[in-house]
Amino acid sequence: DSSDITEVENYTKNKYAEPNPDLFGVAEGKNIIKIHLESFQSFLIDYKLHGEEVTPFLNSLVHDQEKNFTYFDNFFHQTEQGKTADAELIMDTSLYGLPQGAAFVTKGNNTYQALPAILKQQQGYQSQVFHGDNKTFWNRDEVYKEFGIDEFYDSSYYDMSDEQVINYGLKDKPFFEESMPMLKSLEEPFYSHLMTLTHHHPYLIDEEDATIDPAETGDGSVDRYFQTARYLDESLEQFFDDLKEAGLYEDSIIMIYGDHYGISENHNRAMEELLGEEITKFKNAQLQRVPFMIKVPGVEGKGTVHEYSGQMDVMPTLLHLLGIDAQDYIQFGTDLFSKDHKEFVPFRNGDFITPEYSFIKGNYYDNDTGEVIEEPTDKMKEQEKGVQRELSLSDKVLLGDLLRFYTPTEDWEPVDPTQYHYGNDEP
Ligand code: GP9
Ligand code: MN
């Protein structure tokens, strides 16, 4: 009932981390370009196959100081069965996905107070999603309306002829190329989310698109994983050039993230061969790192930052960069640039990771040694309960559709989903 939202509100207000005063509002009104790296795990960064970098362009964003990116190398995905859809939900609402199924599908008509709607109401942003798949996949065409996303450029906006398509949909290179004119024509400021697709299980790639040889483990999808990652990397480099040419690069927030793992535990044998170590439960959890990189106009990149963090933390971070106080909203994450950022990363299954130790399937592990901690401290056990509590509060929000009963700010207007229409084929 509606009193539950008070319990949630007390929890999230208490967890809230004050903004970093040096960064609060620095990017107010700037365009935001958010780039989704499908199935991209952080171990690819700086990884060399056959003596070659797999993702030289992304590596350059990490290492070239003058590119002004900040890279979080201890950033984790927090998704479950909703995969891509969970990543979208978490990053635009700072709520957890559900323990089973995809909230995008089962809670697609809930009330949300999502980033696109907040940015529109607070600072007049228009928001868009670009994605070369059918708009109904993951029920996006429903839930995006609840998020207040203004335009959804789905596959009906792109040339989907055979040679441009592989696996789930449009190839990443034509995707970025054809997105450019649409991006250029947008009203500013915009919050644009571009979602890639080619680097997706089972990592199919046409011969002419492959510029690195496959790995040689004999596990086909693992072997090709590096080829589609390279293709994605090249598509991104091209996109950055096009953004520069269009004058959209320098003055925009550019944010890059991985949505979830690409190589599941079913491929441990091949991964052990490639990484040269045993994939224990502990190691598998560590492999759930995905990249998070951000460039903020006028702010010097911090290089590689080791803060332990997760997808949940992105929304409050962005709000604070734009000068909007995250405290007004129900959010489980905390600002990555705050000195009070909370350094523990819950996974959806109740496991969690901190800078010192990891709680994985009932055992605590020392991060330095990877060994089981036989006698966990009370503080550790408390944290375990804290994670359970946090997850269950988030579940209450989604299962009870509790944001119906929450008014973030005096001037907040509930989103009216009937005001949104998507797709080239819609009247
Ligand atoms: C489909 C794409 C893939 O549109 O987002 O979703 P996933 O299988 O990664 O959840
Ligand atoms: Mn995905």
Q: Which ligand is the nearest neighbour of the Cα of 85?
A: 1
- Residues with Cβ within 8 Å of 233's Cβ and at least 6 positions away in sequence, in order, are 54, 55, 56, 57, 58
Mean pLDDT for all residues in the chain: 97
**So what's the pLDDT on residue 425?**
65
**So what's the pLDDT on residue 2?**
79
Tokens of 65: 């100081």
- At 200, phi and psi to the nearest 5? -130, 140
The rounded Å distance from CA 133 to ligand 1 centre is 9
| pLDDT tens, residue by residue, 132-160 | 999 999 999 999 999 999 999 999 999 99
13-42 in b/e form (b: 16+ CB < 10 A) is: eebbbbbbeebbebbeebbbbbbbbbbbbb
| pLDDT tens, residue by residue, 112-133 | 999 999 999 999 999 999 999 9
Q: Which ligand is the nearest neighbour of the Cα of 105?
A: 1
**So what's the pLDDT on residue 426?**
58
| pLDDT tens, residue by residue, 230-258 | 999 999 999 999 999 999 999 999 999 99
Quote the CA–CA distance of 364 and 352 in Å, as a whole number: 9
Q: Above 60 in pLDDT, residue 427? A: no
**So what's the pLDDT on residue 321?**
98
| pLDDT tens, residue by residue, 355-369 | 999 999 999 999 999
Cα distances (Å, whole numbers) of residue 287 to 42, 43, 45, 335: 8, 7, 12, 23
Q: How does residue 339 score in pLDDT terms, banded at 50, 70 and 90?
A: very high
Known catalytic residues are 84
Residue 153's DSSP bridge partners are 130
**So what's the pLDDT on residue 412?**
98
Quote the CA–CA distance of 427 and 423 in Å, as a whole number: 9
Quote the CA–CA distance of 365 and 376 in Å, as a whole number: 9
Q: Give residue for tokens 């979830």.
A: 260
| pLDDT tens, residue by residue, 184-215 | 999 999 999 999 999 999 999 999 999 999 99
Mutate to test the pocket of ligand 1, among 89, 135, 137, 156 (most ligand atoms within 8 A of CB): 137
- Rounded to 10 deg, the angle between the 83-93 and 140-147 helix axes is 0
What is the pLDDT averaged over residues 158-183? 98
User: In ligand 1, which atom is closest to the CA atom of 259?
Assistant: 9
* Atom 7 of ligand 1: nearest residue by CA position: 84
Q: Which ligand is the nearest neighbour of the Cα of 133?
A: 1
User: In ligand 1, which atom is closest to the CA atom of 39?
Assistant: 9
Ligand 1 site, CB within 6 A: 83-84, 133, 137, 168, 197, 200
* Atom 3 of ligand 1: nearest residue by CA position: 84
Within 10 Å of residue 306's Cβ, how many Cβ atoms? Answer: 12
The rounded Å distance from CA 145 to ligand 1 centre is 19
Quote the CA–CA distance of 263 and 248 in Å, as a whole number: 34
Structure ipTM: 0.99
User: In ligand 1, which atom is closest to the CA atom of 133?
Assistant: 4
Q: How does residue 424 score in pLDDT terms, banded at 50, 70 and 90?
A: confident
| pLDDT tens, residue by residue, 1-34 | 778 999 999 999 999 999 999 999 999 999 999 9
Q: Above 60 in pLDDT, residue 69? A: yes
User: In ligand 1, which atom is closest to the CA atom of 85?
Assistant: 10
